[in-house]
Amino acid sequence: MGSFCVSISHAKDNVDKATVAFVVANAAVGSDQDTTVFVSSEGVHLATQGYADDMHEEGFAPLKELIDSFVEAGGKIWVCSPCFKKRGYTEDQLIEGTTMVGGAKLVELLAGGAAHVSY
């Protein structure tokens, strides 16, 4: 089993990119890849309760469904801690399946050979 990382730096500022990123993440976890989604910048909003509930890009499943499916399938969501705190969030606002991390954790994953795609 390989490792796969999807980095997402968009949320409501680009619903298309945020949605496609989770479609790819679901495909990876569904292909038995050890899959991590790393949300940073605007993407950290996706890791907060209720934020993605009304996000739906035409032609795709609603974003909340894609996120829930990803977590249920065993995917991990890593949240950039400084990005999250900069936006005034607290850890009690995180959705299930998320972990706060610093940049060093992402570097470790990628240096270990994980395939990586960014949206």
Taking only the tens place, the pLDDT of each residue in 32-71 is 999 999 999 999 999 999 999 999 999 999 999 999 999 9
State the Cα angle at 97 between 15 and 4, rounded to 5°: 70
Six token digits for residue 86: 């900069």
Q: What gap in Å lies between CA 55 and CA 16, rounded to an integer?
A: 10
Six token digits for residue 26: 């679901």
Asked whether the predicted pLDDT for residue 89 surpasses 80, the reply is: yes
What single letter denotes the amino acid at residue 4?
A: F
pTM: predicted TM-score of the whole model, two decimal places: 0.96
Q: What gap in Å lies between CA 115 and CA 43, rounded to an integer?
A: 20
